Structure 1
Amino acid sequence: MTKVAVIGAGIVGVSTAAWALRDGHEVVLIDKQGPGEGTSYGNAGMLASCSIVPVSVPGLARKAPKMLFDPRQPLFLKWGYLPKVAPWLIQFLKNANPADTQRIAAALAEITADSIGEHRAVAEGTPAADYIVPSDYVFAYRDREHYAGDAFGWGIRKKHGYEWEVLEGDAVQAYDPALAKDIRCLVRVPGHGFISDPGAYVKALAAHVVGEGAQLVTGTAEGIVQENGRVTGVRVDGETIAADAVVIALGAWSAPLARSLGLTVPLESERGYHLELYGVNQMPKSPTSVIAGKFVATPMAGRLRLAGIVEFGGLDAPPSRRPVALLEENIRTAMPGLTWTEQREWLGHRPSLPDSLPMIGEVPKVKGAFLGFGHQHVGLTCGPRTGRLLAQLLSGRKPNVDMAAFAPSRFTTGAQP
């Protein structure tokens, strides 16, 4: 039996702990705030298996500057942060071409596939399972021409086996009366799902893991202890917790610990906002991606959550006002009959790498050190699958996935930001 320290109690870390425990390992779960308090709390809640097309699609380099100067577009930048983020953005935009988009999508398809099944597997027999809701995932377009503009992305999905139905005209409102009448084209992708309360879901799963024997430590992981190129422990608030292996799953905060293991990781925060509406008079029938506003409206327990928006500004800057205002404007346009009695706002950090792929695997030259972060917009979707893969690696088993695309070593050569 191996003693495994999992640093980070979001969906990736908790899933890793759950699968490692089932494999017979002793598990210590470490988090500064406790389970489900970070990005795993505030995401859109979607189990979006079909979300394999990265943001860095062809043409983005041309469109992005215009988007930054248009207050109606969901891309924001704190301009004082530009010198720091510019090298990352250059690397990111280099992938905005057909060949790299296809490559990235093929890799993502390996870990997004059957997301709802992966969540059911990790949550089976636990109270967390009650939060998993099967559903369609729908994409709302102005009209057929608007939908046709995304043909490249839909072609990638078709290549990877996804199927969908296109509804037009009055069939859109027949499917979902809450949608505005000028939304005349709806793409319905079956076989998806959502989490009705992401924060509570991760907390419930973590509580089950602790109940099954894992140790939960609330504290700050300050460094990885090594001897002769092998992990021997983790320093937490000045104390050393002995461990034979460690998994770093701290999302956007993972880079410093990775750096202590000899890896310079070009990790950036895509700051994401959500707006929750309480006391609503109607809900969308299914989680809905409103393409014109590039946000997702997800019906959750007791509220409607709107999430989307990308802002570059680092981990420490305070929230901006305009992104939340844009979410409110966009939902009033997409669902004009919607009313609510209370709203709450939130800012979180999507951990993103320039190639839009997470790091999943063992650190070169440090035996027993593993990484599991960088899932950008699909962290909740891929969390249980990532945890299962990491547990397999911890147990010395070879996953049935080509892990090269996710290798922690992939940024160690050449000029990187």
Structure 2
Amino acid sequence: MLCAQGCVFIDGGCCQKKDWTKGGITIPERVIIAGAGIVGVSTGIWLRRMSDAEVTIIDRLPPGEGTSHGNAGVLAACSIAPVTAPGLVRKAPGMLLNPDFPLFMRWGYFPKLVPWLIKYLSNANDSDTRRIAKGLTHIVGDTVDQHKSLVAGTDAADWVHESNYSFAYTNRAAFSADAYTWGLRHEAGFEPEIREGDAAREFEPNLSPTIGLLATMKDHGYIRDPGGYVKALARVFEGLGGTILRAEIKDFEFEDDRIRSVLTDAGPQPCDRAILATGVWSKPLMQKLGLKIPLETERGYHIIFKDAEGIPSHPIMIASGKFVATPMDAGLRCAGVVEFGGLDAGPAQAVFNLLRKQAKAALPNLSYSEEVEWLGHRPAPADSLPLIGQVRQTGIFTAFGHHHIGLTGGPKTGRIVASLVAHRPPNTDIGAFDPMRFA
């Protein structure tokens, strides 16, 4: 929605640009955003719309070529349930020992993972799961509207597609086994339409006959090419007067405990505010601020089946394989599988093989010209909630830790952080995401 001056409304208020003042003189602030993924670029766009701050995005890679490039592309408004559901501690050993279950561990990395894993599994109970789901609902529940607001009136709008989002099960018993998660979704206002047997096959004829039930959510969406989308958003940001710099951030420089510059391999970059949106790579930067964040990489995989035919018409989560099949510009992208093994190890072919096997089992009519494999790093905080807010009164703000929901929650997070930096606190409680909760 636009106001009379052409500004976008946010949380009931107008985003009309305002300068900050010091001693009666108008001074545009200098803001540096670390990270050119969906969260960083969204933050930059909203900040330029809300203010006259000089905004620079810094990343060692071009926009959209990190974790934001490789994901299922779904605007998954109903993805509010964390992995750490009740019973996970009891089930986890069996999952790891089952070669057909999409959970992998690099055992050489396991000793380093243990401190984080203990904190992570401590949330696998009903009260913490409900607390986390409530927080995630605030970030992702209106994702389609948030993306549409982000791209309204820009060339990036064409990348956003509204669609259904289905969950495919072998039968009613398999669907009922997920009753706890569907209960959380119900409490958040998400109700699926159930199709069984012939109705499911008529709705999506390319699915395997072994899939006997579809639970379909309306009012969702997907991105035709996540990497291309973030690059298009970066051009929007530059068109609004923002700057993008290729560099690696090394440290921060302070004056009276306030940020004064970001130190990079391209030299110091003076600033009045800084925003960390570098995903799992934010962890070492937070350590320089005296905060040890329990954050691990959840190594995510995808395969693109190029020029694919015999594919679903909309994104479908194959529940048995815990992966999503999404039709995209390049073909069919199948994304999912969880692997723990740190940042340094290369991809595991066994993971790709399982993903490939499961995709072909769920989609027996699938044909394609070639495959493209990808591995990336999803930032997983021990409590499954992103870190959004200011670190003490340093002028450094956080916008990372989105686990599986980075693309889904990126625009909303960017809007919130931009509001904080622009001295216009959002009319909402973001206490659940406080970066100081791990202090």
Q: Same fold (TM over 0.5)?
A: yes
Map of 2:271 onto structure 1: 243
Superposed, 1:37-52 pairs within 5 Å as 37-52=65-80
Map of 1:410 onto structure 2: 437
The one-letter code sitting in structure 1 at the alignment partner of 2:220 is H
Following the alignment from structure 2 to structure 1, what is the Cα–Cα distance between the partners of residues 234 and 308? 30
The one-letter code sitting in structure 2 at the alignment partner of 1:293 is G
Following the alignment from structure 2 to structure 1, what is the Cα–Cα distance between the partners of residues 342 and 241? 36
3-state DSSP of counterpart to 1:40:
coil
Following the alignment from structure 1 to structure 2, what is the Cα–Cα distance between the partners of residues 262 and 228? 16
| 2:280 equivalent to 1:252 | yes
Following the alignment from structure 2 to structure 1, what is the Cα–Cα distance between the partners of residues 83 and 275? 27
Q: Which runs of 4+ in 1 moved over 2 A?
A: none
Map of 1:125 onto structure 2: 153
TM-score by length of 2: 0.92
Paired residues, number: 411
Mapped contact 2:247–2:266 kept (Cα < 8 A): no
**One of 349, 355, 368 as aligned partner of 1:321:** 349
3-state DSSP of counterpart to 2:379:
strand
Mapped contact 1:42–1:198 kept (Cα < 8 A): yes
Map of 2:423 onto structure 1: 396
| 2:246 equivalent to 1:224 | no
Map of 2:398 onto structure 1: 371
Mapped contact 2:310–2:363 kept (Cα < 8 A): no
3-state DSSP of counterpart to 1:216:
strand
3-state DSSP of counterpart to 2:69:
helix
Map of 1:354 onto structure 2: 382
Map of 1:190 onto structure 2: 218
Following the alignment from structure 1 to structure 2, what is the Cα–Cα distance between the partners of residues 266 and 354? 6
Task: State the identity as a percent.
Answer: 48
Following the alignment from structure 1 to structure 2, what is the Cα–Cα distance between the partners of residues 302 and 314? 29
Following the alignment from structure 1 to structure 2, what is the Cα–Cα distance between the partners of residues 275 and 23? 38
Following the alignment from structure 1 to structure 2, what is the Cα–Cα distance between the partners of residues 87 and 326? 28
Give the drift of 1:30.
Answer: 0.3
Give structure 1 stretches of 5+ with no counterpart. Answer: 413-417
The one-letter code sitting in structure 2 at the alignment partner of 1:165 is E
Map of 2:49 onto structure 1: 22
Following the alignment from structure 2 to structure 1, what is the Cα–Cα distance between the partners of residues 340 and 195? 35
Map of 2:197 onto structure 1: 169
Map of 1:144 onto structure 2: 172
**One of 381, 396, 414 as aligned partner of 2:408:** 381
Following the alignment from structure 2 to structure 1, what is the Cα–Cα distance between the partners of residues 432 and 382? 13
| 2:84 equivalent to 1:63 | no
**One of 271, 280, 301 as aligned partner of 1:273:** 301
Give the drift of 1:365.
Answer: 4.1
Q: Deviations over 1:305-331 (max 9, x none)?
A: 000011001011111011110111001
Following the alignment from structure 2 to structure 1, what is the Cα–Cα distance between the partners of residues 307 and 139? 36
Give the drift of 1:238.
Answer: 5.1
Following the alignment from structure 1 to structure 2, what is the Cα–Cα distance between the partners of residues 122 and 269? 28
Following the alignment from structure 1 to structure 2, what is the Cα–Cα distance between the partners of residues 264 and 228? 22
3-state DSSP of counterpart to 2:346:
coil
Mapped contact 1:195–1:300 kept (Cα < 8 A): yes
Map of 1:415 onto structure 2: none
Mapped contact 1:268–1:353 kept (Cα < 8 A): yes
Give the drift of 1:279.
Answer: 2.4
Following the alignment from structure 1 to structure 2, what is the Cα–Cα distance between the partners of residues 401 and 289? 31
Following the alignment from structure 2 to structure 1, what is the Cα–Cα distance between the partners of residues 109 and 44? 35
Following the alignment from structure 1 to structure 2, what is the Cα–Cα distance between the partners of residues 238 and 287? 41
Following the alignment from structure 1 to structure 2, what is the Cα–Cα distance between the partners of residues 271 and 247? 24
Mapped contact 2:248–2:266 kept (Cα < 8 A): no
| 2:172 equivalent to 1:134 | no
Following the alignment from structure 1 to structure 2, what is the Cα–Cα distance between the partners of residues 279 and 9? 28
Q: Deviations over 1:50-97 (max 9, x none)?
A: 000001111111111111111101100110000000111111111011
Following the alignment from structure 1 to structure 2, what is the Cα–Cα distance between the partners of residues 156 and 87? 28
Following the alignment from structure 1 to structure 2, what is the Cα–Cα distance between the partners of residues 10 and 210? 14
Q: Structure 1 residues 30 and 238 mapped into 2: Cα distance closer, same or farther (>3 Å)?
A: closer
3-state DSSP of counterpart to 2:124:
coil
